[in-house]
Amino acid sequence: METQDVLEPHLPTLAEMQKWTDVLGRAQQLMLEQAAGATGRVLPFDPETVARIQTSFADEGLALWQRFLDSGGLLRDQPDPPPADSPAARKDRRFADPAWTTHPFYDLIRQSYLLISDYLMNLADAVDGVDPKAKAKLRFATTGMLDAMAPSNFPLMNPTVVEKTIQSGGENLVKGLQHMLADMEKGQLTHTDGTQFELGRNIAATPGKVIHETPLYQLIHYAPSTPKVLATPLIIFPPWINRFYILDLSPEKSFVKWAVDQGISVFLVSWKSADASMKDMVWDDYILSGQVDAIDTVRDLLNVPSVHTIGYCVAGTTLAATLALLAARGEADKVASATFFTAQVDFSAAGDLTLFVDDEQMKLVDRLSSSGFLDGRYMAATFNLLRGRDLIWNYVVNNYLLGMDYPPFDLLYWNGDTTNLPARWHRDYLTQLYRDNMLVVPGAISVAGTPIDLTQIRTPAYVQAGKEDHIAPLESVWKLTEHLAGPVRFLLAGSGHIAGVINPPVAQKYQYWTADAPQPTLDAFVAAARETKGSWWPDWAEWLRGIDSREVAVKGARKPGGGRLKAIEDAPGRYVKGR
């Protein structure tokens, strides 16, 4: 049976048109009530702006109904397309099924939804005279509401689901229910088939040994694949809000394996997922007992004066604090270079995550962390909300309504492999950095009693940002360059927080932008930047060798377990497997 035959066509009545008007009015009222609650007062709107928005919406809506009725309503064979400049004409992946534009009923629903969405977003943007964060919260809430209201999320309004239900005799809904109940059982939305991956076999499989272990982390030393390696080793600090193997996915995507193959001595910190024993851990612990301890451990093991470092996301933020501490102690020479993957230190432009740090959100975090740590599933849900259309509703449709099998995808497997966070550290991080932006105030934060100042960091730095990063926005990452006193190479990578980093040369995907000379502002960088197709990893490797190109033979401690630190277990180690 064709999708077009599923619904009995009929012309909409006046009552039905009035119903649509009522739905819009209630949606508008909900948005205004939410906005008033967020700001604590009646929202000021510019009357002329609101009048223009309402007039535009009324005109678009009337034109939609006029086209619909003039062409015979649901009795027509082919809907008339909206004008090219209409909000209802824009492309939207949720409405990719041809039935959304060829079937009169679905076309009406689609166009009506897009018009309402455009109207409510314009109304949210029209709010004036309030705190920018309150306005951003209103816009975020409106976007979330509209994403949830999308007709594609409802089985009887989605032509793909209707057709699949008829073809399968409803089996898709039964299978979808099984998926939903399983997700409710584990308290987390499933994105991929996790049975297809095994740590150490086809993911996190780069050969190496755990050579050092503390209550906070394991240190992995990867086996060299070249006869000689750079004299100065590299320590990678991944974020402890995720598992480290985002940098060691399948072999063809692994940054770790690629770096090893470039002749670099690679060490990596695998953080322990927090439990009740870590309830009192704070940022100082991750700086001193984490990063500084790892730096000193590798220096002593290889008898080298300094190491290269990489900090990804929150570990990059922490690396900046570590460098500032070493500078204050007169020990800056312990680090030869610092690379920052999508890291922030100035949170004044940190994007939508700043919407989750008000007093009410902090009370919720405290309740969720009563056992001394925050269950990683709550953090995962927060990140999913930032891209709800792609990371929530897309999977609701595919998993629950269409009952589709989960595809095996290593990146999505990693994304669902959550880690727990120490409660005190998490709260301090959200309040002191995201909310109060203390890290960029010289002396405002102390580590073990030593005030730190980012402007004292003279370590050569490589700062990488993602053009479409929704977690660490480009504008926010750029600010890091404004607080460092040493030489900085800034690079803008195509894509976002993950794909912008994990882009191996063999994939030949995306692009990156660099400038021949340091630029004073982000706008100046964009104006001067030169685009290069493909991966930025070779650019980074060239920069690293430009700092120190000396090489040594692979022998003794350059082999995992070959020095005074003996192998404890094979990589990836047991910390990454702890839940």
Q: Please state the pTM of the whole predicted model.
A: 0.81
Q: For residues 331-364, b (16+ Cβ closer than 10 Å) or e, as one string?
A: ebebbbbbbbbbbbbbbeebbbbbbbbeeeeeee
Q: Measured in whole angstroms, how far is the alpha carbon of residue 341 from the centre of its chain? A: 12
Question: Is 313 a known active-site residue?
Answer: yes
- Please calculate the CA angle 506-512-518 and round it to the nearest 5 degrees: 135
Question: If you ran DSSP here, which 8-state letter would residue 443 be given?
Answer: T
Instruction: List the one residue out of 457, 231, 461, 230 whose CA is nearest residue 338.
Output: 461
Position 442 scores a pLDDT of 96
Instruction: List the one residue out of 409, 389, 393 whose CA is nearest residue 401.
Output: 393
CB–CB of 403/175 below 8 Å?
yes
Instruction: List the one residue out of 493, 489, 509 whose CA is nearest residue 501.
Output: 493
CB neighbourhood size of 167 (10 A): 11
Instruction: List the one residue out of 527, 454, 546, 530 whose CA is nearest residue 491.
Output: 530
Marked catalytic residue, from 134, 260, 313, 465: 313
CB–CB of 98/127 below 8 Å?
no
Token pair of 313 as six digits: 């996301």
Position 5 scores a pLDDT of 42
Helix segments in 126-153, DSSP class H: 132-149
Tell whether the torsion through CA atoms of 73, 76, 77 and 78 is positive or negative. Answer: negative
Per residue of the chain (579 residues), what is the pLDDT tens digit? Answer: 344 444 443 444 445 544 555 555 555 555 555 545 544 445 555 566 666 666 666 666 666 666 665 555 555 556 667 777 777 778 888 999 998 888 888 888 888 888 888 888 888 877 776 677 777 778 888 888 888 888 898 888 899 999 999 999 989 888 888 888 887 887 777 778 878 888 999 999 999 999 999 999 999 999 999 999 999 999 999 998 889 999 999 999 999 999 999 999 999 999 999 888 888 899 999 999 999 999 999 999 999 999 999 999 999 999 999 999 999 999 999 999 999 999 999 998 887 777 766 777 777 777 777 777 777 676 667 766 767 777 788 878 888 888 888 888 888 888 888 888 888 888 888 889 988 999 999 999 999 999 999 999 999 999 999 999 988 999 999 999 999 999 999 999 999 999 999 999 998 999 999 999 999 999 999 999 999 999 999 999 999 999 999 999 999 999 999 999 999 999 999 999 887
Position 33 scores a pLDDT of 54
CB neighbourhood size of 451 (10 A): 13
Tell whether the torsion through CA atoms of 5, 6, 10 and 11 is positive or negative. Answer: negative
Position 412 scores a pLDDT of 83
Position 480 scores a pLDDT of 97
Instruction: List the one residue out of 482, 547, 472, 484 whose CA is nearest residue 324.
Output: 484
- Measured distance CA(470)–CA(534) in Å, rounded: 21
Instruction: List the one residue out of 209, 266, 268 whose CA is nearest residue 237.
Output: 268
